[in-house]
Structure 1
Amino acid sequence: MSVVPSSLLPASAVPVFRGRIGRDEHSGHYAVPHRYRLHVAPSDPGCLSIALTHGLLGLDDTLPLTVLPATPDTPDGGYAALRPLYEASAHLYDGPAAAPVLSDGWTGRIVSTHVPDILRDLALRFRGEGPELLPEEHRDDIEAIADLCERSVNRAAQRAGELGLDGDAAHRDPLDVLFAALGSLERRLARHPYVLGEAPTAADVHVWVTLVQLDTVHRWHLDATAMDRVAGYASLWAYARRMAARPEFARRLDIDAVIRRHRAHCRGREAAGAAIRLVDWPTVTTP
């Protein structure tokens, strides 16, 4: 396992633990039922991706999942329940005990806090009875779609909102990036029920969580013209609604918690696009 020590990070940063789950007992960490536990706060998009993957793979009986409150419960922005894990895993740790965490019940320590690694290990090492989320023939496509979602949707929408609120005409550039990315996804979903074809993959996790963020977080800072255009991708939003009706997708989604988390972190002003809501997301979650 690799970890960046807290002493080498800014005071507000959290060290990243990057242990991996191997193929067998020679790997140190290997997949054993009930050995590990996931700790997530699904109001965070990375945690929501992990919880969604956990649900799609049907891992309730083999890999327990603890759902943490939407709002951290310690002054430093962490969770009291996770502090023993951080303190056992990093010498003299004094930073926030943040989610997500994949912990090892045998050692009482953290295996990983790195979202991409956790997602990959869930799909490859803890598959359970669920679909094959990382089929070999689609892994490059899945990686490309994950990058598209992060760079060309999430970051572009955030940047467009920041520039638009500042009155800077340059906000058209990130909007162009955003619309190009949404158009690419629209063309895929106009042809197939899922992002990469006839069955769900990890690409659907990335895309659906990104759409949740776009409609519940980024719309607060986009103007009405931009949100009208975002709403025009009919196949994309029909897909978002269709997936939201599935228990595996909706189970851990708490829109009120997502919005509370956004408001707790955001200092930007509300824009006209905030009034345009595209999906009637589920409001009831199950434990």
Structure 2
Amino acid sequence: MTVTPPAAHLTARPAPAFRGRIGHDSRSGHYAVPRRYRLHLSTADPDGLRIAVTHSLLGLDRACPVMLLPAVPDCPDGGHSAVRPLYDASAHRYTGPALAPVLSDDWSGRIVSTHGPDIARDLARRFGGGRRALYPCGAESAVEAVERMCARGIQRAAQRAGAADAEESERTAALDSLLTTLGVLEQGLAVQPYLISDQITAADVELWVALVQLDTVHRHHLDADAVHRVAAHPALWAYARRLTAHPAFGAHLDLDGIARRHHARCQGLEAAGSAVQILDWAAHTTRTHQPFQPVDRH
């Protein structure tokens, strides 16, 4: 297995250190067996939140246990001490930070994957038989298109639109890109309840996490006018409210943890848009699904 220590960059998704996959059968090495694997997640992190929602939608509480990690990593290098033993057991002299998410194999005591999108796909494909189809047959390209749209048109565009070190022209172009993306999504959601199907799919999980980040993180670095323009997409934000009320989504929304993680990592300047909340996320959260229990570190 190729092991690559991730680059230290606060705004980009780090390169995954491990990219093993869960296959169809025993010939793949890692194959689907209930309670063989364990997830280690921080739901304050976008990847962790995305996986947690996927895990709950699939009803995998018993099949794949979850260990919840702190919102803010407790190691100086930005890693989590709770998963450091897994990294040490999985790669000789690994020098990078012990980052989450982690999918580990309890049989070997080693890491299968630290790549969030792969983990979510493998949970749905290998453990989701007979359950909700988060990746409907024939819709893979549509899900991937939404992933790219969220990564480039929402997350990256919002980051550059609020970047203090960017030229005014660059910030304006980034804001235009963000608003264009939101406008396309608004048009679709004005006539259908979900993005690519008549039921929740992985595309909806992806967009919901992106909207959570947009309002709870990126908004703090935009000016008030920009935030008002972002908020002026009623169908999009009504969709976000509706998904937040779904227990598989809202139960994992750690607003305090997201704020603490952002404060610990962010090097940007707060702008006037910080005072203009788009959505009252807590008011729409349903807690009928019990969130994961924190990892026992004693």
Tell me the distance in 2 between the aligned counterparts of 1:167 and 1:57: 44
Report what 2:157 is aligned to.
156
- Give the count of matched residue pairs: 283
CA contact (8 A) 2:24 2:126 kept: yes
Report what 2:291 is aligned to.
286
Q: Deviations over 1:129-157 (max 9, x none)?
A: 53100112211111000000001100000
Tell me the distance in 2 between the aligned counterparts of 1:89 and 1:277: 43
Report what 2:125 is aligned to.
124
CA contact (8 A) 2:16 2:115 kept: no
Tell me the distance in 1 between the aligned counterparts of 2:206 and 2:120: 10
CA positional deviation for 1:197:
2.8
CA contact (8 A) 1:59 1:128 kept: no
CA positional deviation for 1:286:
3.0
Q: How does 1:213-228 map to 2 (within 5 A)?
A: 213-228=213-228
Report what 2:104 is aligned to.
103
Report what 1:261 is aligned to.
261
Q: Deviations over 1:237-281 (max 9, x none)?
A: 000011111110011110111011111111211111111111111
Name stretches of at least 5 consecutive residues in structure 2 with no aligned partner. Answer: 293-298
Does residue 135 in structure 1 map to residue 140 in structure 2?
Answer: no
Look up the SS of the partner of 1:70 in the other structure. Answer: coil
Report what 1:193 is aligned to.
193
Tell me the distance in 1 between the aligned counterparts of 2:167 and 2:212: 26
Single out whichever of 14-23 and 185-194 deviates more from structure 2: 14-23
Report what 2:295 is aligned to.
none
Does residue 54 in structure 1 map to residue 59 in structure 2?
Answer: no
Report what 2:82 is aligned to.
81
CA positional deviation for 1:14:
7.0
CA positional deviation for 1:3:
2.5
CA contact (8 A) 2:160 2:170 kept: no
Structure 1 residues 170 and 14, CA gap change in structure 2 (3 angstroms):
closer
CA positional deviation for 1:193:
1.1
Tell me the distance in 2 between the aligned counterparts of 1:211 and 1:14: 23
RMSD in angstroms over aligned alpha carbons?
1.8
TM-score (structure 1 length as normaliser)? 0.93
Does residue 178 in structure 1 map to residue 163 in structure 2?
Answer: no
CA contact (8 A) 1:142 1:202 kept: yes
Structure 1 residues 125 and 234, CA gap change in structure 2 (3 angstroms):
same
CA positional deviation for 1:98:
1.0
Q: Give the aligned residue type for 1:183.
A: G
Tell me the distance in 2 between the aligned counterparts of 1:214 and 1:255: 13
TM-score (structure 2 length as normaliser)? 0.90
Q: Deviations over 1:164-202 (max 9, x none)?
A: x75623311111110111011111111111111310100
CA positional deviation for 1:11:
7.4
Structure 1 residues 81 and 152, CA gap change in structure 2 (3 angstroms):
same
Look up the SS of the partner of 2:138 in the other structure. Answer: helix
